[in-house]
Amino acid sequence: MTPEALTGGFADAPVQAARAFRAALDALSRPGVIHTVAGATPPAPLSVAAGVLLLTLADATTPVHLAGDHDCPALRDWITFHTGAPLVDAPSAAFAIGRWGALAPLSRFAIGTPDYPDRSATLIVEVDDLSATGAHLAGPGIKDHAHLSLPEVAAFRANRALFPQGCDFYLTCADRLAGLPRSTIVEAC
């Protein structure tokens, strides 16, 4: 384990995690709304926002999958040290992190069961641009409609078709994040 792995966590976890959770909660409750978060300085290539989400939500009871370039020793050590989360393959993950291309295909991830749709994975998608433009969003959490710069539309439409099963998503870019629950109806703009 490198010394870098030991730094970059929350300095005051109860308070920082509380603020981060509220940002994450609001983001998932209101798809299209973008929040700025702080408190984590994870090693590359993990973004600050994705690091904050992990510190806030992951622990020894939530297996984490690292996809593509995110599956690197520096990040593995950092997550292990700060969260204790076991690092696993895609089908066993409660949380998965990576760039959109590395996470595909989504069919690898848990979507819950018909009686327990909550037993599904949450995907943290690292993106280069994040703005309230692009794909047309409607559904719970959205008054009339909203927009969000999604990496594609088809995969999210297919995910919505599984409702109430399916994956939930956070899109992260530097220190900003947005949420996209499985309930959102996504259409190309």
Partner 1 sequence: MTDQAYNFAYLDEQTKRMIRRAILKGVAVPGYQVPFASREMPMPYGWGTGGVQVTSACLMPEDCLKVIDQGADDTTNAVSIRKFFQRTAGVQVTEATAEASVIQTRHRIPETPLREGQILVYQVPIPEPLRFLEPRETETRKMHELEEYGLMHVKLYEDIARHGQIATSYAYPVKVEGRYVMDPSPIPKFDNPKLSDNAALQLFGAGREQRIYALPPYTQVVSLDFDDHPFEAGKAPHDCDLCGAGESYLDEVIVDDAGGRMFVCSDTDFCASRQAVGHRGRLSPEEV
Contacting partner 1 (CB under 8 A), which of 72, 102, 142, 153?
142
Query: CA–CA separation, 71 vs 80, rounded Å?
Result: 12
What CA–CA distances, in Å, run from 178 to 57, 99, 140? Answer: 15, 15, 15
Q: How many CB atoms lie within 10 A of CB 4?
A: 14
Contacting partner 1 (CB under 8 A), which of 24, 93, 103, 135?
24
Of 72-80, 103-111, 124-132, 134-142, the segment contacting partner 1 by CB under 8 A is 134-142
Give the nearer residue to partner 1 in terms of CB position, either 105 or 114.
114
Q: Is 139 in the site for partner 1 (CB under 8 A)?
A: yes
Query: CA–CA separation, 151 vs 6, rounded Å?
Result: 33
Report the side by side order of strands in the sheet with 168-173: 35-36, 176-180, 168-173, 122-126, 95-99, 64-66
In the window 94-133, what residues touch partner 1 (CB under 8 A)? Answer: 94, 114-118, 120, 122
Binding site for partner 1 (CB under 8 A): 13-15, 17-19, 21-22, 24-26, 28-30, 56-59, 61-62, 94, 114-118, 120, 122, 139-143, 163-164, 168, 181-183
